[in-house]
Amino acid sequence: MTLTCAAALVCWKPQVERMAHAGDAPAAPARQGAQGSGTVEGQVKELIKQFDNRDKHEATFAEMSICNLGLAAIPALLAASGTATKSQLSHIGRVIGIMNFMYGATVPALMDELNDPNPAARRAAIFMLGGLRVNKALGKTGEAPVASALVGMLNDEDEGPRGAAFRILPGFGAAVGPLIGALGDRDGHAHALASSILIRMGAPIAPQLVSAMEDHRTDTESLMNVLGEMGKPAVPALLAGLKNPDLVVQIGCAGALGTIGDERALNPLIGALRSGKLPLRRVSAEALGNLGSKRALPALMEAAARHDEEDSVKEAANDAIREIRPGRTR
């Protein structure tokens, strides 16, 4: 399964509108079994074969016939996507989009398919939901419940659905909160995948990650690591966080700034070393060592020489001095 299905959704609405304008709008949904004999699944399988027909009219008729089977056709469509050809995948994506336009209940049906025992069906449902988001067609369900459900798929037992969720989630702004929550899951796959997704989402979500540190139930260390991996684009949000009255936020931001090593953090970190609370002073000393600027040496030497300074801060300051001036002994 590729993103072909999701990409195809971008064009479904204009096509349906053109059909309606031409007097060839989709018919009302037919009852199960009305399209020939046999089960819905059997009918869908036969109609999907027509998607490879060189006659575009036959392929379009097959699309409309599946749509007229109603929402009951969705499980069969998703099951078939695992072995479908590229052309069939494109048509399946378009059918899902048209059904959403017709019935408005496609999103809940797709979310139900996330529990399907067949991993190929779960994977297909994830891509379809991603395509509906691209086309702003999640309807009354909205983005938040879908995003939350997709974050849950990061712990799927099968690599296929996990990989699909990993590819789709960066486009869901509403996924940030659930992804932050997933950072605390150290037992499954979700922790590592959520970290990578948040990093990919980049600087626009950095202020939200900094604010999340205020909730001490979150995995602050992981948030610090994610912000550090974002690099220089996250620096403005981290500098603002260094002024946050919450000590945990200050420490997390100082640590991330040390990882990034941007010169813009030099003076704020020196200020934190000189006047911050004990844990912040230690982390700021370590961060200044990572920055490697000789302009930090006076403040670090001052901290290392203070008689009333805590040993942990002195040790961090001396380590930082050695980082900046290699070869110096304690």
Q: Sign of torsion, CA 92 94 97 103? A: negative
Does 226 lie in the same domain as 156? no
Does 95 lie in the same domain as 195? no
| pLDDT at position 200 | 96
**Distance from C-alpha of 192 to C-alpha of 300, rounded to nearest angstrom:** 35
| pLDDT at position 249 | 97
Which among 55, 54, 32 is positioned nearest to 44, based on CA atoms? 32
Does 245 lie in the same domain as 112? no
Asked whether the predicted pLDDT for residue 24 surpasses 50, the reply is no
Does 275 lie in the same domain as 152? no
- pTM comes to 0.78
Give the pLDDT confidence of 308-327 residue by residue, as tens digits: 778 999 999 999 999 998 64
Give me the number of domains the chain comprises. 3
**Distance from C-alpha of 146 to C-alpha of 126, rounded to nearest angstrom:** 9
Does 314 lie in the same domain as 237? yes
Does 151 lie in the same domain as 247? no
Select from 89, 116, 138 the last residue of a domain. Answer: 138
Does 159 lie in the same domain as 71? no
| pLDDT at position 15 | 44
Could you tell me which residue, 288 or 89, shows the higher pLDDT?
A: 288
**Distance from C-alpha of 129 to C-alpha of 147, rounded to nearest angstrom:** 9
Does 197 lie in the same domain as 92? no
Does 125 lie in the same domain as 169? no
Does 214 lie in the same domain as 123? no
Domain encompassing residue 323: 203-330
Asked whether the predicted pLDDT for residue 213 surpasses 50, the reply is yes
Give the pLDDT confidence of 290-305 residue by residue, as tens digits: 999 999 999 999 999 9
Q: Sign of torsion, CA 34 10 90 164? A: negative
**Distance from C-alpha of 291 to C-alpha of 258, rounded to nearest angstrom:** 6
Does 108 lie in the same domain as 22? yes
> Mean pLDDT of all residues in the chain?
86
Q: Tell me, what CATH number does 266's domain have?
A: 1.25.10.10
Contact (CB, 8 A) for 168 and 160: no
Select from 138, 163, 189 the last residue of a domain. Answer: 138
Select from 94, 110, 138 the last residue of a domain. Answer: 138
Does 211 lie in the same domain as 172? no
